[in-house]
Amino acid sequence: MAVYTDVAADELADFLKNYEIGELLSYKGIAEGVENSNFLLHTTSGSFILTLYEKRVALGDLPFFLALMTHLASRGVNCPQPVRDRSGEALRTLAGRPAAIITFLEGIWPRKPNSAHCTGVGKVLAQMHLAGADFAMVRANALSVAGWRPLFEQAAARADEVQLGLRDFLKTELEYLESGVWPKALPGGVIHADLFPDNVFFLEDKVSGIIDFTFACTDMLAYDVAICLNAWCFEPDCSFNVTKARALLSAYGRERKLTKAEEDALPLLARGAALRFLLTRLVDFLNVPKGALVRPKDPLEYVRKLRFHQTVTSIRDYGVLA
């Protein structure tokens, strides 16, 4: 979450007249994240999140995200729900941007994830994959292998300003993953594709819900697991925590068992996931809009994670007996 587009109080108050959620009492921008403009709203009927969609989010994709949240909730996955306006629409326009209001989810995201958090994430990720099995809509993953070279080309000329030798490191890894090694026949379905700690809320050590589906798409389910390994199982110094990985993978497996092919592909998928977030973070780091209320994330974190995954030979290195 972040704020790229500001919204005036009177403009927001007029916008809320289209909804039956009471009158505006206060609102504030949410600085975390990098993709869209987000605000916490307090009205006379409660708290809500307002999102203005921008950057990588295409207008045509928004019905997929909104319908997916509704579908998952109907299958028992706790996630925010779109608030429909008086005419039944979930999507409107505010400040020149597509905008939606979603319900507020109680909980706190973990700043220092522990093994219990990783257990909760593994469980809810598998539950989400199972719940999405009968979701009828499809959205291609624009940030899979075919989408990585355009990102590289955006950042290549300045990559060595961030770290000397980074351009060649990225080029070599990208060429390897583009060479035909990327899996193509693994079980697929709806994935979250961005289930980082700030997108999972907890009440104590129990997951209270998951948020931010603006990268959700149709792809290999094990790729979502690989993203979570990167997001949850490294320490602040980027050392890999095998105990956390074992907790996450074991909890996932109790809900949905990985196939042998998925287990074999996991190290490669984790490399791809690390490269994907390294590239998007690098592009964002080099292109923060002037005046935006946003905290760009360190792309070098994913250099260190990618180097680790390059040394992994099997799922056993993630703490699980194959």
Cβ neighbour number for residue 48 with a 10 Å cutoff: 21
**Looking at residue 204, what is its pLDDT?**
86
% of residues, the chain, pLDDT over 70: 94
pLDDT tens digits, residue range 129-158?
999 999 999 999 999 999 999 999 999 999
Name the pTM for this structure. Answer: 0.91
Q: How far apart are CA 220 and CA 190, in angstroms?
A: 8
Per-residue HEC secondary structure of the chain comes to CEECCCCCHHHHHHHHCCCCCCCEEEEEECCCCCCCEEEEEEECCEEEEEEECCCCCCHHHHHHHHHHHHHHHHCCCCCCCECCCCCCCCCEEECCEEEEEEECCCCECCCCCCHHHHHHHHHHHHHHHHHHHHCCCCCECCCCHHHHHHHHHHHHHHHHHHCCCHHHHHHHHHHHHHHHHCCCCCCEEEECCCCCHHHEEEECCEEEEECCCCCCEEEEHHHHHHHHHHHHCECCCCCECHHHHHHHHHHHHHHCCCCHHHHHHHHHHHHHHHHHHHHHHHHHHHCCCCCCECCCCCCHHHHHHHHHHHCCCCHHHHCCCC
4 and 287 in contact (C-beta within 8 Å)?
A: no
**Looking at residue 32, what is its pLDDT?**
62
**Looking at residue 322, what is its pLDDT?**
60
pLDDT tens digits, residue range 11-68?
999 999 999 999 999 999 886 655 788 899 999 999 999 999 876 677 889 999 999 9
